Amino acid sequence: MTDNTPRELEHVVIIGSGPAGWTAAVYAARAQLEPLVFEGAGSRTMIPGGQLMFTTEVENYPGFKEGITGPELMMEMRAQAQRFGTRIVTEDIAEVDFQQYPFVLKSSRGKEVRAEAVILATGANAKWIGLPNEERLAQSGGGVSACAVCDGALPAFRNKVLAVVGGGDSAMEDAIYLTKFAKEVVIIHRRDEFRASRIMAERALADEKIRVEWNKVVTEVLGDDVITGLRLQDTVTGAASELSVDGLFVAIGHQPNTAFLGDQVALKPNGYVEMSVPWRTNTSVPGVFACGDVMDDYYKQAISAAGTGCMAALDAERWLAHGGAEAHVSGKEEVAVR
């Protein structure tokens, strides 16, 4: 049985446990870096394994011709990482200190861990409307999703009436994408004009399969085992109405899980980790790397997250092998990026 107790000094600590985190762990473990993964303690909207833990069928991850459920895929990745000796702690990292070296990480239960290199793979939380039945049906696979590209092509949504909540570019992109499969797509927006760029808004409005419910908010998601409709409220008149739909896609954005970092790492204005070197996973702190949705505000797919997890592990391995740690200790931060 693997001893998951943190050691006096870890070579690599991976924070997060989605496709990026587990892929990084597989590569780091096979490189004999003996990675320690803090997979997270879980919360109401995020559990160890990331957003795929709330996804029923995954049909676009290579290698599974019949598809695989999100939780199954994550459990397989987790087991693969363990097979090579990855150690796992089911806690969050609540605080980091990257000003001193080795780096110091503090867990939600008070553990203090020192590490030569750190890989950030904490992902991003999809923003939900916040309705109880919305969250229940999203977790049970009842026709509610926050990723149209991930789920829109599933048989359950084909030739059906689908709703998209949102008014930005993401909502327009999701609505247009869903027209490939849906009978009709209804965009629900709280205002009388979109926040999206003009070209995206015009493209959506010109599509004959798309119609818009202006000045409306969703107040209730209807349905027991699967979604059957939405209860709406007019933001101008206050009038209530119901809309029959067979699927709901929430497209009001994502929130990267970076709050615990404080000001220790440079972030983009939208809160995602800023990458300091093009086509690398280096952050603003030498020896700290980032992968997956915590640094990707564009693709946000399981396969791209896994790819950057591989990159982060290789970058960490090479940084350590080429004297990164020694340079950090001596104050020489001009370590070659290879």
Q: What are the domain boundaries of the chain?
A: 10-125+254-330, 128-250
Q: Which of 3, 97, 151, 192 is catalytic?
A: 151
Q: Which of 92, 97, 147, 296 is catalytic?
A: 147
Q: Which CATH superfamily is domain 128-250 in?
A: FAD/NAD(P)-binding domain (3.50.50.60)
CA atoms within 13 A on the CB side of 94: 9
pLDDT in tens, 18-32: 999 999 999 999 999
210 near 176, Cβ under 8 Å? yes
Angle between helices 70-83 and 19-30 (to 10 degrees): 20
150 is an active site residue: yes
Q: What is the pTM of this model?
A: 0.81
pLDDT in tens, 79-132: 999 999 999 999 999 999 999 999 999 999 999 999 999 999 999 988 899 999
Write out the two tokens for 284. 């603003």
151 is an active site residue: yes
pLDDT in tens, 228-243: 999 999 999 999 999 9
Least-confidence region, from 162-166, 215-219, 294-298, 306-310 = 294-298
192 is an active site residue: no
Q: Which of 137, 141, 159, 160 is nearest to 151 (CA)?
A: 141
Q: Which of 92, 150, 174, 293 is catalytic?
A: 150
Domains 10-125+254-330 and 128-250 share a fold: yes
What backbone phi and psi angles, to 5 degrees, belong to 23?
-65, -40
The highest-level CATH class for domain 10-125+254-330 is: alpha beta
